[in-house]
Amino acid sequence: MFKEILQVGGPVMWLILACSVVALFVFLEKLFYLHRIQVNVGDLVRGLINVLKRGNIVEAVSLCDDTPGPAAHVLRSAILSYEQGDDDIAQSIQDAALSEIPRLESRMNILATIAYVAPLLGLLGTVFGMIEVFRQINEVGAFVNSKNLAKGIGEALYTTSGGLCVAIPCYIAYNYLVSRIEAIILDMEKASSEIIYFFRHAKPGENGKPANGKAEK
């Protein structure tokens, strides 16, 4: 059945099939990547703050190195630059985020493109099918029958349905991955805000005391 659909659908159907294979590969690759870097950022920040309160910068950096995900990399940059002042900490966080966000969003454009192009390929197949139908009508004339028109109509219907069957899951998968990426970016921003707040109010090694010497409430 599947082989018959490909044969009737013609070259456009093979293009749609290729798009579906590429889209499936991109989706699975991004899904596994996002699952691998997913961590509890709240626990990570609390653990880092506890280590930094003891003044153990090396252990804090090692903890970031051993933790996957962009939030850990951003926190590592902030820790390494904490002695340089608030402006430098913010700049280091921004620089790290600028390198992490494109990595999160890599190849998402492929999935979006396939979701957009697949219906157009289906429409192109429909046009080719209708051209075949009119060619048969022109050749056979008044004696045209359903058998003469079956190939063109089949190509039109199969390619249209094939394009939609690829585009709809691609669109759903794209939006799902975008929501996951946005959640990770939000966690990264929250972690950055918390570490900046800590550096402003409780320097490492001061046991939670703020810079002005007053105990935190």
pLDDT (tens digit, 9 = 90+) per residue, 53-70?
Answer: 888 888 989 999 998 989
Percent share of the chain, pLDDT over 90: 41
What is the residue-averaged pLDDT of the chain? Answer: 85
What is residue 120's predicted lDDT score, i.e. its pLDDT?
A: 95
d(CA 72, CA 61): 9
pLDDT tens for each residue of 15-48: 999 999 999 999 999 999 999 988 888 899 999 9
CA pair distance 177, 170, nearest whole angstrom: 10
pLDDT band of 148, cuts 50, 70, 90 = low
Torsion of CA 182, 186, 192, 197, to 10 degrees: 170
Nearest Cα to 173, choosing from 3, 65, 31, 71?
A: 31
In angstroms, the CA 150 to CA 130 distance is 11
Residue 112 has what pLDDT? 95
Compute CA 15 distance to the chain's CA centroid, rounded to the nearest angstrom.
23
Question: Are 79 and 195 contacting, i.e. CB atoms less than 8 angstroms apart?
Answer: yes
Q: What stretch of H or E contains 215?
A: none
**Predicted pLDDT of residue 180:** 94
- Region 69-90: what's the mean pLDDT? 84
Nearest-5° Cα angle at 19, 14 to 23: 150
Half-sphere exposure of 54 (CA within 13 A, CB side): 9
Q: Which residues, at least 6 apart from 97, have a Cβ–Cβ distance to it below 8 Å?
A: 70, 74, 188, 192
pLDDT band at 156 (very low <50, low <70, confident <90, very high): confident
Whether pLDDT at 6 is above 80: no
Burial class (CB in 10 A: 0-12, 13-18, 19+), 32: exposed
Nearest Cα to Cα of residue 75 among 63, 83, 85, 87: 63
Q: What is the pLDDT of residue 122?
A: 93
Structure confidence at residue 199 (pLDDT): 83
Average pLDDT over residues 94-110: 91
Instruction: Report pTM.
Output: 0.82
Q: How confident is the model at residue 213 (pLDDT cuts 50, 70, 90)?
A: very low
pLDDT-based confidence at residue 177 (cuts at 50, 70, 90): very high
Residue 209 has pLDDT above 70, yes or no: no
Please state which of the ranges 71-85, 169-183, 185-199 shows the lowest mean pLDDT: 71-85
Residue labelled with tokens 């004696």: 143
- CB-based burial label for 56 (10 Å; 0-12, 13-18, 19+): middle
